[in-house]
Amino acid sequence: MPNSYDPDQIIRSEILALNAYHVPPATGMIKLDAMENPYTLPAALRQEIARLTAEAPVNRYPDADATLLKTALRKTLHIPDEMAIMLGNGSDEIIQIIAMAAAKPGAVLMSVEPAFAMFRMIAAFANISYVGIPLKSGFSLDQDTMLTAIAKHQPAVIFLAYPNNPTGNLFDAEVILRIIEATPGIVIIDEAYHAFADASLIDKLTQYPNLLLMRTLSKLGLAGLRLGLLIGRQEWLVQLEKLRLPYNVGIITQLVGKEVLRHADILLAQANAIKLERTKMHDELAALDGIEVFHSDANFILFRVADATRIFQELKQHGILIKNLNGTHPLLINCLRVTVGTPDENSQFILALHTILDKPV
């Protein structure tokens, strides 16, 4: 046996080349970096969660089919009867399952750039080639370039977030439908921010045999629970289910998820409050000199400043954590992304920004 082992000799080169997904420490900070819902659940519901958790048979494996939770999701999210659903430990896990399933030698997974970073990262995990097509300067889909790239690469899978992260906009639905029609593979519409947008492609599922739709409870207020779902035809989900680890959704997630969905009105009211705050924050940002604000249909706002890295650092010194996107993509030069928080958190953010911008460099 050799007395030292070298990971470089064992681990795949694509993995060695990756940077781990970095989650910055946020203890004691106003946390506006991760699109979390800033509101907690009402006391009565938390009590009920405490009871359900206390009584949960944690010595047993959970229901591998999560039947009761799925029924609750169907009802609350108005999932068409003829569509099947598959649950994931967050929608991240669903992206991974799809990528693994499609990773034939030479297969391509396609998305746009800038987009949710996990599409590209998970392609590397699953050993499937990734092709990212740049968005146009206003973050809209570049239809001609997309259709040309689809003809050339024949992608097995395309992921499009609707609304898109980190840009916050909804793509033109007509262009998405043309992409679906032109693609030899499947198109997954990732509606993680559905609660904050007034649009969905869920009613197109029955029309397009290669369309699948992803949702998550994370941005709606249950990020810590880890529950995402894929909605689509049985013929696709039967195959993908084979790759899902049987107990990927734990019993606490099943019980608590089902209970909170009975009170979905609370989450939706919180989402509405966030939408109102989004409008307010947009206007306040737009009123500041030297800031370009982009329209958002999600629970965050993308904006451009003269020196993103300096402002990001100074906000951090004020105890406010947002996301610095400078350097992640040419379209995001000097761009910052702020999650919409509570009215108080948002005021503190705007106030800190005022102070920083008024200060000479």
Q: Shortest gap between Cβ of 125 and ligand PLP (angstroms)?
A: 14
**CA distance linking residue 75 with residue 11, whole number of Å:** 44
- Could you tell me the smallest distance in angstroms from the CB atom of residue 290 to ligand PLP? 28
Nearer to ligand PLP, 170 or 353 (CB): 170
Nearest-angstrom CA–CA distance, 180 and 192: 19
Give the binding site for ligand PLP (CB under 6 A).
35, 90-92, 116, 161, 165, 190, 192, 216, 218, 223, 228
Q: How far is the CB of 115 from ligand PLP (least distance, A)?
A: 7
At 53 the three-state DSSP class reads: helix
The residues facing 321 across adjacent strands are 31
Rounded Cα distance between 65 and 78, Å, is 19
Q: Which is nearer to ligand PLP, 92 or 297 (CB)?
A: 92
Q: Which is nearer to ligand PLP, 62 or 168 (CB)?
A: 168
Residue 356 CA to residue 279 CA, distance in Å, equals 22
Closest CB to ligand PLP among 107 and 225? 225
Q: Which residues contact 292 (CB under 8 A, 6 or more apart)?
A: 303, 304
Can you tell me the distance from the alpha carbon of 303 to that of 181, in angstroms, rounded to the nearest whole number?
Answer: 33
Closest separation in Å from C-beta 197 to ligand PLP: 12
Cβ–Cβ < 8 Å for 158, 186: yes
Q: Report the nearest approach of ligand PLP to the CB of residue 243 (Å).
A: 17
**∠159-36-93 over CA atoms, to 5°?**
40
| DSSP E strands, 147-288 | 157-161, 186-190, 211-216, 228-232
Position 343: which residue type?
A: P
In the complex, least distance from residue 226 CB atom to ligand PLP, rounded to whole angstroms? 7
Q: In whole angstroms, how close is the CB of 287 to ligand PLP at the nearest point?
A: 27
Tokens of 311: 């402002």
Closest distance to ligand PLP from the beta carbon of 245 (Å): 15
CB closer to ligand PLP out of 169 and 218: 218
Q: Which of 91, 302, 152 is nearest to 133 (CA)?
A: 152
Q: Least distance to ligand PLP from the beta carbon of 92, Å?
A: 4
Which of 165/346 has CB closer to ligand PLP? 165
Distance between CA atoms of residues 112 and 114, nearest Å: 6
Q: Give the SS3 label for residue 116.
A: coil
Nearest residue (beta carbon) to ligand PLP = 90
Amino acid at residue number 252: I
Rank residues 191 and 284 by Cβ distance to ligand PLP and give the closer one.
Answer: 191
- Name the residue nearer to ligand PLP (CB basis): 173 or 288: 173
Residue 188 near residue 48 (C-beta atoms within 8 A): no
Cα separation of the two ends of the chain: 59
Cβ-based nearer residue to ligand PLP, 69 or 353: 69
